[in-house]
Every structure is written in C-alpha cells, then in structure tokens.
Structure 1
C-alpha cells in the first residue's frame, strides 16, 4: 500500500492585521444555501515547473494574497443568536498542508489517473469545532521526480468554482513576481494584484406561476460536520472525450446540420451522461436536472425537466432541453423561510450539470512559466443524484473536453462500462 508522508500543517494569515477586529461578513441566502458544499481542485506540474521552488517560496505569496483578498477567506464561521451563520473576519488565515509521495508523477498518473483522492486536504467545516475550521486549505504534494501537485479545498460559502480558480491563479501570479524578483535582483517589485471580487450570485425571481424550487432539497448533516448525509457512497471519475469523439457525438445524435452548429459541447456531453444515468436507474430515471452556469453577474442556478422518457431519447433532444430557456429557481427563498438555519443540498439534489468551460480559466495557474499538465475539479458534499462537470481538456490531449462525474459508486461503474462500450470514451490516460 502506498504511503503518504505528511510533513507539516501550518496556517498563513494576511500580511497586515486588519484594524477592525470585530469585522464580519454577512453571508447571503445563496451562500448559506451552499454551506454543505466544497470546491476541490488540483493542478499537476512537472519538475521543470516546480524547479527551484521551496515551501517558503510557495507559502509567501499567500500572505500577500490574503492581505488583498476579501477578508472572509481568512475568517471563521460564527453562529448568531438567531441561528444564522456569518463569517467573523478575524484574520485566522487559511491552512497549508505539505506532503510527499514516494513515486514519480508519471507513476501516479498510471495508477490514479487524474483522481483528486489524497491530493486535496480532507477539509470540512464543523467537527470538531466549527469556530476553528478554516474556510480554505491548500495542499502541496511533492513527487519523487520533483513534480508538484497544488490541491485546493474551498468552502462554497466563499464563492463558486470560478472564485476558487481565481484565488489560486492570483496566488501563482504573486509567486511569479517574487520568483522574477529573486532571479533579477535589480528589477522593480511586481505590482500588487487586484483584489479578489466579492462573489455575486444572480438571484432572478421565478415567474409567479412557478412552484417551489425543484433544484434544492432539505437534508440532514453528518453529525457535527457541515456535510450532507447520503444513502449511497459517492465516487468520482474523470473521462477524456477527444475532439473526434465530440464531433461524432454531435453529428450522429443530430438530424440536421443546423442542429449540430447550435449544440454546445457542454449540452451534448451533459445530455449523454443524463441519458445513460437514466438507463441505469430505470423507472426512477431523472426527468429533472439542475444546471449551473456562470453568467455575467455571477452564479446562475436553473432547472429543466424533460417531458419524455429520457433513457430512450436521442442525445440531441436532451441537449436541446438543456439549451432551451430554463426555469430559474428562486432557491434563496428557502433559506429565508428557514430563518437562515436550514440545511440544504443543491449539487446532487437532482442530477446536476455544471459548465466549467466558460467564465474563468481553469488552466490559469502558472509556475515558472509552465501551465499545469493537468487540472481537475470536483464537488465535495454531493447529494445522491450526482454531479457532472464539463471542463477543458489538458493541452496536448488532442483537444476535446474532460468530464468529471460524481455518482453512487455502483452507478458510476455501469456508466464507465456504457461510455466505453458504446462511444469508446475512456478514462483520462497518460500512457
């Protein structure tokens, strides 16, 4: 069994202490709705990218970034007398973990693919003490070859996946400036990056004839942890869909060329997984799905519902349902109705489709001028109905897309077999 050497866990705080020690960040209803969910992201770098970097080099930019980011990232959750959670901006900082693996990056890929398992700190708010739980944890994992993985666990109350990507990207930008300064001692200090934007969540009112939101379910938490309970074990797996396979999917599942031109890859890939999950579940097939997209004003949560049998439908028909005008659920009202104290699951309340292609640069993190050879993302705290994330494929992988799916483990095994047998879609391979 492979062993991990966890050498150190530390905390990084903002470079300058804030003057208002009683500062707070009030969480919006949308933030509280997402409080049981976490963004987990990993970035793999070769030895060339990580060459010359020490842990001190990697940690130093975090002090500066936290100094300029919204103070909530360094804060801790508190519960008001009314029972509503908020963030006390007490500069408690983010957690940093350092570990080492006794194998090369190539050996890791051959055995684990692009799995996030073990490369992101197992970070959940709550137990043993909510008041001491960091809202973000960064884990640096060194490989025997000198390669490096940067893993981020990000509480969704801080913002969506693109907010998490932006955080790590800005960290690498500060690091690049420091490295440049260390190498050329006579250059000017790098300009400070712009502050992280405060996440804005679009809350469009539902039409009067809409019923209660269908994209959210109330849940119970797992003991003292801010984590939804599940009836099944959720597993995660990533697939690589090549450009050739994408073109085949679009052309073979559409009747007219105009349909192919108007069909997004996100819609097509989501429709493909939706159909196969419906076939696996049989009579309990998911007719309604939740869709996450990144609009100009922030996170948009919407829902669509098929009026026909999903399992026997054409992928193009499902793609058109996904791309059609969606019902935008007034999900925030549920939080207000609970007085801010309710526990909800959104990702996985229905089969949830997340578009991570547009709205931010997944591959924006750069070390020593090198982009990651692979970046991946998943959601922690997924409900039993599962989540499908569509991301750009790594450079050098003949284009295409990467699809990361979290489902009950038995369903995920069947999905892997079905996609391989019917479409030739395999796990992401580095051989």
Structure 2
C-alpha cells in the first residue's frame, strides 16, 4: 500500500470544540448496554473527492462547520470516565474532537491505482482510546490533500458513540453545514421499533456472537492472535444480477422475495471462506449484524438499532449450494440481543468483549447514505468506504453501496470490505477473482 508523505509537515493536529459552551461541564452521558458491548471497536470512514469538489476549500472552511455541529452532538466532544462502580460513562466537558491535516505527493488517481484494495488506512487517523481515557478524543477527522487538488475526508469514530449509520450521519451533517444548510437545534432520541422477528427466532441459549477479550495494555483495543488484513471487493451491478440470477433458480419464490442483495453476497462469501484451508474447519456458525428500520433523519447517535443474530448450519458449508445458504441467512437468523445485553449489563461494562470477529461476522450497511449524504461543493465523492478496527480473529465482512456503475443499466453494485487473517484473505481473493471475476 502506498504511503502518504507530507509535502509540508508530517502532521498538523488541532482541536474543535462546540460553538456554544455548555453550562454544566460536569454533565454525564450514560452509556447503555449496547454502547458498552462495542467499546473495543472503531468505525473508519473515508470519502474521496476530486479537485472539482474540493476546489477553493481551505482548512478553515472545512473546520468551521464542526463548531456548530458539535452543539447537538455534545457527548461526541466529551471524554470517557468511570463511575465509582467502574462503569464507563462520557463526561460532556467540551474537550473537543481532533482535526488532522496531511498532504500527499500523489494525485488522487495515482493513490487509487496504488491502493486497489480500497482500504482506508493512511487516510484515517489511527486512533484508539487509551491509555489515559480521560484525555482520549472519541473522534478524529482527517483531511488529506492530493497533489492534483483532490481531497480525502477520513473519520475515525469510536463505536461506543453509535453504530456505522450514526457515523455516516455525523459526517453527512457536517457536509450539509458546509453547504449552507441549517442544522436542527436538537437531535431525536431513538424511539426504537420492535424488531420484526417471530418469538421462536429469539435465542435462549448462551450467545455465540460475543466473546471475552484481553486488551492491549491500557488501550480499549482487543489483543489478537492473528495478523488481519483488509481488502475491498467491488461487485458490479452486472455481477450482482448474475449472482442473483444463477442462485434464484434454486430457491423458492418466498425465499427470493424476502432475500436482499446482502443475503446473496453473504452466502457467496461464507461458502468461499468455508472452502479455504482445511476443508472440514470452515465456519458453520456465523454472526449477522443488521440495523432496525425507520431510523429518523435527525437521529441522536446510538447503538440501540443494532441487531446481532446467529446462524448455525448442521452441514459443511463449503459443499452446499449458495442458494441453501441464502435460505439460511434469510430465514434462520436467531436474535441474540437479549442474552448479550443481559451478560454485559450484569458486569456493568467492566468486562471487555468483541462482537465483530468473535465469529465470522457479516454486517449489512447497504442502506448507508455514503454518496448522496456527503458532498463537497454539491459534488458526490468518487469513492466512499468503511472499515472496522478492533476486529476479532474470525474476521468481518461489510456490505456497502458502491458508486453508480458505468453499466448500461446504470445500476449500483456493492463494495464488500473484508477483514480476515492475511493468508485466508489472499486465498479469498484468488477464489472470488478466479470463479466470479470479482476483484
């Protein structure tokens, strides 16, 4: 992967605080159970803009909307503290978010050509919480200028603040302010809908979607045994339609009607990963992460919409048809949230867990507003991506929207960002490229 040498200074870091100082700098934002569950994970977003979109924008103009943005997002500029019982919370002390500036001696197109894996490293500040939580920012925004005048906007968002949809909405609100739109005076606290699940699809067994974790020193980061690498695959709309067409012939009308593109992509990746290495050791149990629907536009950041489900197969996945896995994913999800929340709440967030990568985890981000939601000078990003940090050894697969393809149908494919042990990822690239032409 190409480096990011700076033309001037290696780093320039500053702090942005809310435009309106809080009356009570000791106010506390209480973290709920789902927040505490994901506290070792981080969400990293990148948006790449060409010189037309970035033209005329100075660092002053890019930073200016952040000040009023943080008024309704007061806890985002706070810092982690612990209560007397040891339970973490956020002190809303207006300590601010960090802004990092960098310059690259390549053009934007050269960067894309040199980084065909599409990962976000280098364009997002590599931040985690700790070792001194009281001084660790929860958010970093990094602006990187390319030699051609293009610009990268990179967001590193502590998952404890909210899920990936919350992170997308945060940076989307920033771009709306930058474009002259008004910001709502307040954000809606989530009015959570009941999940659309049947009673027999709720697990009463100990959850397999989470596992206890050891952390790296005093950092909120899980220690790992394996060297994980990340790669983003682009599935074009033509390839996506082909996958659905060849698979749909083998599934019932009911399954086809209730299945999403996410289900088909997850089934394909599950089968391919199961065929890597020892042919009897592929994952028979996976985690599916989805989000409850009907999220409000001006939603307060939250993790409460996350739904973690397990899917268990009683057969070796690598030998089965993709259609069988599509049916499993669409119809056999067993929600584990009640059991997970019970475990985390009983220890008041003092214990450490991982959920992404505890088992092979598929995350549905198809509805993320990555292209229409974030604009500079009215222009969409030419590329957007998301990756998770703090992933467990079993790996994670994120399914995101892609920019509009140049196919005749003008449809949209998907970006599939995969983090796996490095040797497994190399084999997955060979399988997807050789058998499906997906790179």
Instruction: Give SS of 1:220's match.
Output: coil
The reply on whether 1:227 has 2:240 as its aligned counterpart is no
Is the Cα–Cα contact under 8 Å of residues 103 and 143 in structure 1 kept in the other structure? yes
CA contact (8 A) 2:251 2:327 kept: no
Distance 2:351 2:219 in 1: 14
2:335 corresponds to? 328
Q: Displacement of 1:130 after TM fit? A: 1.2
- Report deviation, 1:263: 3.2
The structure-2 alpha-carbon separation of the partners of 1:338 and 1:143, relative to structure 1 and needing over 3 Å to count, comes to same
Secondary structure of the residue that 1:4 maps to in structure 2?
coil
Q: How has the CA–CA distance of structure 1 residues 286 and 257 changed in structure 2, closer, same or farther, with 3 Å as cutoff?
A: closer
Work out whether residues 76 and 139 of structure 2, in 8 Å CA contact, stay in contact via their aligned partners in 1: yes
Report deviation, 1:391.
0.8
SS of residue paired to 2:64: helix
Q: 1:309 aligns with which of 306, 316, 319?
A: 316
Q: Is the deviation greater in 285-294 or in 98-107?
A: 285-294
The answer on 1:42 being equivalent to 2:39 is no
Structure 1 runs not aligned, ≥5 long = 178-189, 427-431
Aligned ranges for residues 18-167 of structure 1 at < 5 Å? 18-69=22-73, 71-113=74-116, 114-127=118-131, 129-167=132-170
- 2:292: which partner in 1? 295
Q: Provide, for residues 64-119 of structure 1, a one-character-per-residue CA deviation record: whole Å limited to 9, x for no partner.
A: 100122x2101000011211111000010100000000010000000013221100
Tell me: CA distance 1:316–1:285, structure 2 relative to 1, closer, same or farther (3 Å).
same
Moved more, 160-169 or 305-314: 305-314
| Counterpart position of 2:267 | 271
Residue correspondences, number: 411
- In structure 2, the gaps of 5 or more residues are 296-304
Preserved CA contact (<8 Å) 1:202 1:299 = no
CA distance in 1, matches of 2:44, 2:241: 30
Cα separation, 1, equivalents of 2:203 and 2:182: 52
Look up the match of 1:4.
5
**CA distance in 1: counterparts of 2:191 and 2:421, whole angstroms:** 31
Q: C-alpha distance in 2, partners of 1:154/1:198?
A: 19
Provide the residue aligned with 2:300 in structure 1.
Answer: none
- Contact 2:404 / 2:413 at 8 angstroms: preserved in 1? no
The one-character-per-residue Cα deviations of 1:331-354 (angstroms, maximum 9, x if unpaired) are: 111112223211000001111111
CA displacement at 1:26 relative to structure 2? 0.6
Structure 1 residue 3: deviation in Å?
Answer: 4.6
Instruction: Give the 5 Å matches for 1:156-195.
Output: 156-177=159-180, 190-193=181-184, 195=186
Separation in 1, partners of 2:109, 2:158: 30
Cα separation, 2, equivalents of 1:100 and 1:138: 14
Q: Secondary structure at the match of 2:245?
A: helix
What TM-score, normalized by structure 2, do the two folds share? Answer: 0.89
Q: CA deviation at 1:395?
A: 2.3
CA distance, structure 2, for counterparts of residue 2 and residue 344 of structure 1: 32
TM-fit CA distance, 1:192: 2.9
The alpha carbon displacement at 1:318 in A equals: 0.6
